[in-house]
Structure 1
């Protein structure tokens, strides 16, 4: 249960002093993690004993239990602000994540690009926050080769399409934290249906456990200091991958054909 929900459920039973703390924390939830009991007491204008009693009133054992719950929630993808972070600090964290992710991708890039070019068909699956990344990857690859599909189709189920995936195909899954409940059964089902090397997973560190069912796991850190996840690593690695595929594909014939169709259909403002 979130801190906000605990406060709402306990509000009627809180003392006037405890309500001062509640108002403070509702507006600045990150101080539960970043500040001590004494600091919270000073900010709210109450005693340390009142702060300790407040957290027990919400159902926590103590302040530390509340702090650990909030950290755990953020690591699972819940949009909770843990610290007060400046834009330069956020940019530094993003840069560090980008550098580490690209370093880790160095030994995966070549084989993955070759697999994309060699596959008869490519199926890209994405759900929730993974869907925009899956759609973007499909839009990039379809300019370089035929047979690239995005699943699931709007308003449709997966089974009708999964049955057609063969041993000559490649499946790329996007599964980031706060995944749908059916993600695990889906990836296990694909593992039973296909050779493990046909499965590629782009995920954040919390999804590394799914690596046991796929041939390649690409880890994309999403950040933890800000309340909302940062997908810059995901899209940066996609850009790197598709450009490598483009270089190895060699021929620009397909791109030129698409360009000609753009002009004939007058689809783009070129």
Structure 2
């Protein structure tokens, strides 16, 4: 059974094989997947008068290792379907300390899962491709803009062929006009996925550029276009998405590129320190 298959499609494909109780669970999930995604097995069972053990067996019947895996699949499904208002309404906590603890705990888990699941060979390949490319284009819009600009800022300090594509006087397609097969395009996209990011990556692909997708899941639309995929977990924290793990992945990418260019960037940073001191870019140590 395909682990990346949409859970709703999986339920529909297996519906005739389900028991009477399991069909009740299936119908509830299909009709209320936005609520079910954040229910424990016990809570889901109580809401439809079904035992917790039946809910767990339902998950196993669909091919999941347990209920938590089914729940994760539901959360992946809704990431790009819920509006910001719907996300806000799902937040039960009002106590600030509880919110603080829950968000920090979620971010820690995102980094742990990213560390365990990321494809190390793909990571190495992306670093190699960065050095092989004639030009490196970085694309990330909406909430992913902050990550794209962060990556662009540091890669520009290390390399001389980095172009951060962003809306401005010239359209993003005009900035990509000369992209070709010698270039690398790094597309960054997390829920809710930007349509424009996808359009630009499709254009770059049509020009035979090599595409790297930095995204959250194999069912992300960016993966369909990419030659290399780097996944970083980005589970929802109420109406915002956690970008902690993606940023940590970007940090690892920057450090890996920088270490390969250690001698070169030592000279670069020495020159920069002189400029920063001369023009008082940062607060002085004696201030």
In the superposition, the TM-score normalised over structure 1's length comes to 0.66
State the match for 1:219 in structure 2: 231
User: Could you tell me which residue of structure 2 aligns to residue 239 of structure 1?
Assistant: 251
Match of 1:182 among 182, 186, 196: 196
User: Aligned in 2, Cα 1:257/1:181: closer, same or farther, shift over 3 Å?
Assistant: same
Distance 1:30 1:167, change over 3 A: closer
1:83 deviates by: 5.4
Matches within 5 A, 1:186-201: 186-195=200-209, 198-201=210-213
Are 1:31 and 1:83, in contact at CA under 8 Å, matched by a contact in 2?
A: no
Question: Which residue among 111, 132, 136 is the counterpart of 2:125?
Answer: 111
The offset of 1:133, in angstroms, is 0.6
The counterpart of 1:76, out of the listed 81, 90, 111, is 81
How far 1:265 moved relative to its partner? 3.3
| Pair member with larger Rg | 1
Counterparts in 2 of 1:253 and 1:84: CA distance versus 1, 3 Å = same
Gaps of 5+ in 1: 1-28, 40-68
Q: Report how far residue 73 of structure 1 moved.
A: 4.7
Equivalent residues in 2 for 1:123-138, closer than 5 Å: 123-138=137-152
Count, aligned residues = 211
1:229–1:129 distance in 2 versus 1, CA, 3 Å: same
Q: Distance in 1 between matches of 2:183 and 2:141?
A: 20
Structure 1 residue 89: Cα displacement: 3.9
CA contact (8 A) 2:212 2:226 kept: yes
User: Could you say which residue in structure 2 is the equivalent of 1:158?
Assistant: 172
Q: Does 1:262 find its partner at 2:266?
A: no
Q: What is the deviation of 1:192?
A: 1.1
Unpaired stretches in structure 2, ≥5 consecutive residues: 1-33, 48-73
SS of residue matched to 1:182: helix
The TM-score, its normalising length taken from structure 2, stands at: 0.63
Looking at both structures, which has the greater relative contact order when contacts are Cα pairs under 8 Å and sequence separation is at least 6?
Answer: 1
2:6 paired residue number? none
Partners of 1:117 and 1:249 within 8 A in 2? no
Q: CA RMSD in A?
A: 3.2
Distance (Å, rounded) in 1 between the aligned partners of 2:174 and 2:144: 21
Matched, 1:167 2:181: yes
* CA shift in 2, pair 1:70/1:265, >3 Å: closer
Q: Structure 1 residues 187 and 132 mapped into 2: Cα distance closer, same or farther (>3 Å)?
A: same
Deviation at 1:213, TM superposition (A): 1.4
* Deviation for aligned residue 1:240: 1.0
